[in-house]
Amino acid sequence: MASNNNNIKIHEHFKVVPPPSTQTTTTTPLTFFDIFWLTFHPVERIFFYTLPNSQSHPSFFFQKIVPKLKTSLSLTLQHFLPLAGKIIWPSDSPKPFIQFNPNDDNGVSFLIAESDSDFNHVIENSPHEASLSQLFVPNLESSDSFASIVSIQVTLFPKSGFSIGISTHHAVLDGKSSTMFIKAWAYLCSKIIETEELPSLLPELEPLFEREIIKDQNGLGDAFTNKWFEINAKMFPNEKRNKQSLKIFPFEPKLKDYVRATFEPTREDLNKIKQMVLSKWEISETNETKPQTLSTFVLACAYSLVCFAKAINGVEKEKEKFVMGFNVDCRARLEPPIPNNYIGNCVWGHIVDTKPFDFIKEDAVFLVARSIHEKIKMINEKGVLEGAENLFDDFISIISEGFQIMGLAGSNRFGVYEIDFGWGRPEKVEIVSVDRGLTIGLADSKDGKGGVEVGLVLNEHVMDLFSTLFLEGLCVN
Name the residues annotated as catalytic: 170, 420
Q: How many of the other CB atoms lie within 10 Å of CB of 280?
A: 17
Strand order in the sheet with 128-129: 128-129, 258-263, 452-459, 439-444, 404-411, 322-329, 347-351
Query: What stretches of 282-392 adopt beta strand conformation (E)?
Result: 322-329, 347-351
Instruction: Evaluate whether 2 touches 106 at the Cβ level (below 8 Å).
Output: no
Distance separating alpha carbons of residues 32 and 214, to the nearest angstrom: 9
Instruction: Evaluate whether 140 touches 166 at the Cβ level (below 8 Å).
Output: no
**Residues in the chain, how many?**
477
Helix (H) or strand (E) holding 393: helix 391-400
Distances (CA, A) of 15 to 88, 152, 369: 18, 10, 46
Distances (CA, A) of 168 to 117, 199, 325, 382: 25, 25, 21, 32
Helices and strands (DSSP H and E) totals, the chain = 12, 18
Q: Phi and psi (nearest 5°) for 122? A: -60, -40
Query: What stretches of 33-160 adopt beta strand conformation (E)?
Result: 43-50, 86-88, 97-100, 108-115, 128-129, 146-148, 150-157
Instruction: Evaluate whether 236 touches 26 at the Cβ level (below 8 Å).
Output: no
Distance separating alpha carbons of residues 219 and 235, to the nearest angstrom: 24
- Find how far residue 23's CA is from the centre of its chain: 29
Q: Phi and psi (nearest 5°) for 405? A: -90, 120
Distance separating alpha carbons of residues 302 and 365, to the nearest angstrom: 6
Where do runs of H (alpha helix) occur along 259-363?
A: 267-283, 296-315
